[in-house]
Structure 1
Amino acid sequence: MDTVFTLLPKKLEEQFRKIPLSMANKVEELRIRIGRPLEVIIEGRPTFLPYLVHDEDARQLLHHISKYSLYALEEELKRGYITVSGGHRVGLAGKVVLENGEVKAIRDVSSFNIRIARQKIGTAEKLIPSLYTDEWHHTIIIGAPQTGKTTLLRDIARIISTGCEKRNILPKKVGIVDERSEIAGSVRGVPQLDFGPRVDVLDGCPKVEGMMMLIRSMSPDVLIVDEIGRPEDTAAVLEAVNAGIKLMITAHGRTLADLKKRPYMAQILDQHIFERFIELNRNDKSGWGCTILDETGNALPKIGSVKE
């Protein structure tokens, strides 16, 4: 949070620092909207602070985020967000400027969404017995927004890159296609989070092009990709599999049944490539927070303990 606070104008920082320390580590988003109260998302629930955001607050915040050079961030502004030191992502909304029917920039920014990037090391360790049997299984992590898909994907990438000595799992080469700069939180191409020694990241690169580039240039053993589901993704998935590369990907949805209802995901699933499906549920009180299915859609037993 301290990294985030350094981005904020003094008045906004003072307000957000009123969040109790016991809750600060659970903050997921800080939302700042001109003319509206500050909003804090804590474990999926909104809390409002009694401060109305002024135009000057937004102007200063944009200057801090861009380090007084919006021109240098022109490409990021086209995507509607900026990744800052620490891997945190600042989403922007306001007046969109079009050129030849395409987004050129966002001007007159009126809303900011600061998503706090936290690496929860060890999150995926309890899942290893289900995801690895002599080799890593092709896996899809399924979840609604803010259920922890990317957090889990990060830790899986770290474990694959590092290996697991107690389970006799050797470290593998990992390629991450980070189209939205969200998995690795790279700044100037350098990942800000811990992924172990054998990770290569393509930051800000479209998924399809990135998967092909990594296959040809970095020979990964495992590819990590966020939010698969567009028409062109099917060919890239098949190319990776035919090259002998394992896939760990995420997809929006609540269940495997949901994915099967989406036409382009159904095309991928019809290839019968994926062997494991992790259905995330942040309301799961068991401590696991997920259900793991095999390639037939049957739930696997939860091996070991949550603390393992």
Structure 2
Amino acid sequence: MKGKDELIKIFSIRLRGILQRMDVDLEQLQEIRLRVDKPLMIAYGGREYFVAESGRISLDEASGYVVDKKELLETMEYIANYSLYAFEDELRQGFITIQGGHRVGVAGKIVMDGDKIKSVKYISFINVRLSHQIKGCAGEVLPYVIQGEEVCHTLIISPPRCGKTTLLRDMIRQLSNGTDYFPGITVGVVDERSEIGGAYLGVPQNDLGIRTDVLDCCPKAEGMMMLVRSMSPRIIAVDEIGDYGDIHAIETVLHCGCKLLATVHGSSIEDVKKKPLLQKLVLERIFERYVILHNHNQVGKVKAIFDARGTALYEGRGTGC
């Protein structure tokens, strides 16, 4: 992963030393979690580990370095460049996106203004979710998603931390740039939580291709409609669909002739059918392809690919993302 030094610099001085001493493959490092008066933890290769002051990682809770309030506040100062006020809009959504496209989630006391969130104060929990690009990881999936000269409406179904956003990102990049067997086409991305493009000051830090337009920090439903009206995309890509607004916007997008790439949490098509708002899309066979991921032994494995009728087109040889 590029930008290791840039990433380490957002932490307090003491935590920088601990993280610098960790002997891990940064491409497998998914999260770094800080909680006041709790052990320092990481998500690594699909598992959780505690980090000792020596930098050694283990499953032993007692070995974990305990993060105090001062270190967490110092970390927040570095993240926000000593001006949390400048990030007030992002904090209302519960995260800040930093250079490199990494997302810093925060939790603490919520301050309300009527029925709307005004701000977050007394921040006591930080989760740094690392942004990863694995170029080419969608290579084995794309032939199942492309049919002739068209892209199929595709839903990626995945449990948390199984690489769905990484797979979606590379699908966007390859479809935008074009491949040996498919010409590049215009893709519109609604990146509600800055996870797909990892935009910093409006510029995606991840490579989404040369024909891709991005709406960053925009609600999915509104963003899909904005792209249809203004950017003439052939494909619209969104992460983690599920609420009523998303479903209504999806129906409109389909009627406009756009193809859809989307993700949802779950382990199977049956899981998706249990979600009341998504059930209709499955039963009406709106999605032409379902890509199922899992993380058995390796993050981002493709378990299976099905067509709209539920017929298996591919069953896992362990393709990894």
Could you tell me the TM-score, scaled by structure 2's length? 0.90
Per-residue displacement from partner, 1:3-59 (whole Å, max 9, x unpaired)? 2101111100111112114x3331111001111111111112111123211221111
Deviation at 1:138, TM superposition (A): 0.4
| Alignment-derived partner of residue 68 in structure 2 | 54
Summarize the Cα distance change of 1:305–1:257 in structure 2 as closer, same or farther, 3 Å threshold. closer
2:227 to 186, 206, 214: 214
**Contact 1:234/1:267 (8 A) holds in 2:** no
Q: Is 1:65 the equivalent of 2:65?
A: no
| Alignment-derived partner of residue 131 in structure 2 | 117
Summarize the Cα distance change of 1:86–1:12 in structure 2 as closer, same or farther, 3 Å threshold. same
| Alignment-derived partner of residue 27 in structure 2 | 25
Summarize the Cα distance change of 1:237–1:269 in structure 2 as closer, same or farther, 3 Å threshold. same
Q: Distance in 1 between matches of 2:316 and 2:70?
A: 54
| Alignment-derived partner of residue 246 in structure 1 | 259
Q: Is 1:223 the equivalent of 2:226?
A: no
RMSD between superposed Cα atoms in Å: 1.9
Q: Secondary structure at the match of 2:284?
A: coil
**Contact 1:129/1:303 (8 A) holds in 2:** no
Q: Secondary structure at the match of 1:92?
A: strand
Identity %: 40
| Alignment-derived partner of residue 136 in structure 1 | 151
Q: Which ranges of structure 2 fall in alignment gaps of 5 or more residues?
A: 53-64
What is the 5 A alignment of 1:36-185? Answer: 36-50=38-52, 51-134=65-148, 135-165=150-180, 167=181, 169-185=182-198
Deviation at 1:194, TM superposition (A): 0.8
**Contact 1:172/1:198 (8 A) holds in 2:** yes
Corresponding letter in the other structure for 1:91: G
Could you tell me the TM-score, scaled by structure 1's length? 0.94
Summarize the Cα distance change of 1:153–1:176 in structure 2 as closer, same or farther, 3 Å threshold. same
Deviation at 1:267, TM superposition (A): 2.3
**Contact 2:303/2:315 (8 A) holds in 1:** no
**Contact 1:291/1:299 (8 A) holds in 2:** yes
Runs of 4+ deviating beyond 6 Å: none
Deviation at 1:269, TM superposition (A): 2.1
Corresponding letter in the other structure for 2:126: F
**Contact 1:126/1:304 (8 A) holds in 2:** no
Deviation at 1:288, TM superposition (A): 4.8
Deviation at 1:126, TM superposition (A): 0.6
**Contact 1:139/1:247 (8 A) holds in 2:** yes
Corresponding letter in the other structure for 1:260: K
Per-residue displacement from partner, 1:114-155 (whole Å, max 9, x unpaired)? 011000111100112111011110000001111111110000
Deviation at 1:96, TM superposition (A): 0.9
Q: Is 1:199 the equivalent of 2:227?
A: no
What is the 5 A alignment of 1:285-300? Answer: 288-300=301-313
Q: Distance in 1 between matches of 2:106 and 2:248?
A: 32
Q: Is 1:10 the equivalent of 2:25?
A: no
Summarize the Cα distance change of 1:303–1:251 in structure 2 as closer, same or farther, 3 Å threshold. closer
Summarize the Cα distance change of 1:303–1:180 in structure 2 as closer, same or farther, 3 Å threshold. closer
